[in-house]
Amino acid sequence: MIRRLLLFAGLSLFAYAASVTSWAQISPIGTGVVAFSKAPASLTYVATATYTGSNVTNVTFTGANIGTPTSDRIVIAVLACQNSSNATGAFTGVTIGGTSAAAVVNGAGTNGVPQGIFSLLVSSGTTANIVATGSAAGGMAGCALSTYALSGYGSSTAFATGSNVATAVTSVSTSSSVQVPPAGASVVMVYNDKATITLSQGTSDASASGFYGGFNAYNFGRFNTPSNNVFGGSWAASGRGSVVAASWL
């Protein structure tokens, strides 16, 4: 009787474990205990767009590429703008396809630059209008947006986030420490008001310098090796810069 009960309990636990789709592997470890092994989260770079028009309160990226749809796809929007007259003010909101996205990281940045990482579960469609709303008087311009698609995650909530600002005009680097967990993935953006940016580590997905009025530079990238990593960037010419980063499990 006891053996039958144990067998039934083991089969029930195995059936439950097999139904948990976010875990890729169920492996006995020799003691009758079922172990769960998570597949690595997948963070895919999709596209980059810029806005270089006149100062506006709402910057719209029409038909932004958000990647191939999957049932668990989370669209990650990483963006920064230049506020008019260097006025300080963070984003007050970002929408993707008309739906408000969650602010993973959101700050005022340096030299009047609102910067942030926003996320939203979007299971259908390959494009969407992404609208960023600013809070500084005079509006925003000189905006850069990169979109990423996150899937295979254990939690839709970011595992860790970080941001930092180098405010001195003589600055040549900025960085922030963000932990990337095992089987995790991360994204980082560095933005400054002058010069070409080199990421301290990771894969650079998109970069440009002088894209707004001959000034402003950005570098978007990813890093997928577990550890407590210092994300950031450096530039040759003096200029203020900022960094935002986040990781998911």
Tokens at residue 115, please? 């910067």
- Higher pLDDT: 201 or 204? It is 204
Residue-wise pLDDT for 70-80, tens only, equals 999 999 999 98
Residues 147 and 161: their CA atoms lie apart, in Å, by 17
What's the pLDDT score for residue 24? 27
Q: In sequence order, what are the residues at sequence separation of 6 or more whose Cβ sits closer than 8 angstroms to the Cβ of residue 112? A: 82, 83, 84, 85, 86, 87, 88, 89, 136
Structural domain spans, the chain: 2-37, 42-248
- DSSP-assigned beta bridge partners for residue 163: 244
3-class DSSP assignment, residue 173 = strand
pLDDT category at 111 given cuts 50, 70, 90 is low
The secondary structure of 50-75 as a DSSP string is: EE-SS-BSEEEEEEEE--S--TT-EE
* Statement: the pTM of the whole predicted model exceeds 0.75: yes
Q: Which amino acid is at 242?
A: S
Residue from 51, 112, 114, 110 nearest 239 by CA? 110
Residue-wise pLDDT for 131-167, tens only, equals 999 887 778 888 999 999 999 998 999 998 988 877 6
Residue-wise pLDDT for 165-182, tens only, equals 776 777 778 887 788 777
Given a cut of 70, whether residue 207 has pLDDT beyond it is yes
